[in-house]
Amino acid sequence: MGKKVYLTAAPQCPFPDAWIGNALKTGLFDYVWVQFYNNPPCQYSSSDINNLEAAWKQWTADIPATKIFLGLPAAPAAAGSGFIPADDLTSQVLPSIKNSSKYGGVMLWSKYYDDQTNYSSSIKSDV
């Protein structure tokens, strides 16, 4: 019996992704780790979740992946923009997106920054 192989991708949040948008629509991807940062039109900004929420809805409606993950920077220094304070993530963003049947969890960039901030520990129980 062979090993199960999962096909994943980590596109930028503007839809469709400029590089792999067509491939993502094939239905072959199991997990899609969307980078909801460094792209102001589709990311969280100063307590405003509208752009991120609209982008999330488009990704989950239009991409036939099993699960879609919310990709975020683990610290303000980890990305140029799009960092979400843990309190805002757990009180505003996650309640808005977790009801999606395609919600898979949160992906953080990167382990180095997470080690500095312990961001994952502060959100783990809410993810």
pLDDT tens, residue by residue, 3-55: 899 999 999 999 999 999 999 999 999 999 999 999 999 999 988 999 999 99
Given a contact cutoff of 8 angstroms between Cβ atoms, the answer to whether 24 and 32 are in contact is yes
Is the pLDDT at 1 greater than 80, yes or no? no
| pLDDT recorded at residue 64 | 95
93 Cβ neighbours under 8 A, 6+ residues apart: 44, 49, 52, 53, 70, 84
Read off the pTM: 0.94
Least Cα distance to 89 among 114, 103, 70 occurs for 70
Give the Cα separation of 92 and 124 in Å (integer). 15
The DSSP symbol for 12 reads B
- What pLDDT digit, counting tens, does each position of 42-101 carry? 999 988 999 999 999 999 999 999 999 999 999 999 999 999 999 999 999 999 999 999
Name the more confident of 114 and 4: 114
